[in-house]
Amino acid sequence: MTYSQSVLDGDRLALARLLTQVENDSAEGRAALIELFPYTGRAHLIGVTGSPGTGKSSLVNQLTLHYRKTSGKRVAVVAVDPSSPFTGGAVLGDRVRMRDLSGDPGVFIRSMATRGSLGGLAQSTANMAQVFDAAGFDIVIIETVGAGQSEVDVARLAHTTLVVEAPGLGDDIQAIKAGILEIADILVVNKADRPGVENAEKALKSMLELAHPAQRVFKHHGTYMSESVPANKVEAGLWIPPIQRTISTEGRGIVELADAIARHLTHLTQSGGWAIRERARLEVELDALIRETLVSRFRETVPQQQYEDVLERIVQRELSPWEAVKMLMQK
18-47 binders of its own copies (CB under 8 A):
30, 33-34, 37-38, 40-41
State which of residues 65, 98, 101, 152 lies at the interface with its own copies (CB under 8 A): 152
Under the binding rule (CB under 8 A), the answer on residue 196 touching its own copies is: no
Query: Residue 286: in which H helix or E strand, if any?
Result: helix 273-301
Distance from C-alpha of 305 to C-alpha of 287, rounded to nearest angstrom: 29
Distance from C-alpha of 194 to C-alpha of 209, rounded to nearest angstrom: 24
Shortest separation between residue 220's beta carbon and its own copies, angstroms: 15
| DSSP category for residue 241 | P
Shortest separation between residue 187's beta carbon and its own copies, angstroms: 15
Q: Which is nearer to its own copies, 118 or 217 (CB)?
A: 118
State which of residues 83, 125, 161, 244 lies at the interface with its own copies (CB under 8 A): 83
Measured on CA atoms in the order 238, 243, 248, 253, is the torsion positive or negative?
negative
- Residue span 115-134 as binding mask against its own copies, x where in contact by CB under 8 A, dash where not: ---xx-xx------------
Under the binding rule (CB under 8 A), the answer on residue 99 touching its own copies is: no
Site for its own copies in 217-246 (CB under 8 A): 230-232
Shortest separation between residue 70's beta carbon and its own copies, angstroms: 28
* Dihedrals phi, psi of 317, to nearest 5 degrees: 60, 25
State which of residues 175, 215, 218, 219 lies at the interface with its own copies (CB under 8 A): 175
Amino acid at 29: G
- Could you tell me how many residues of this chain bind its own copies (CB under 8 A)? 81
Between helix 254-271 and helix 273-301 the angle, nearest 10°, is 80
Distance from C-alpha of 121 to C-alpha of 181, rounded to nearest angstrom: 22
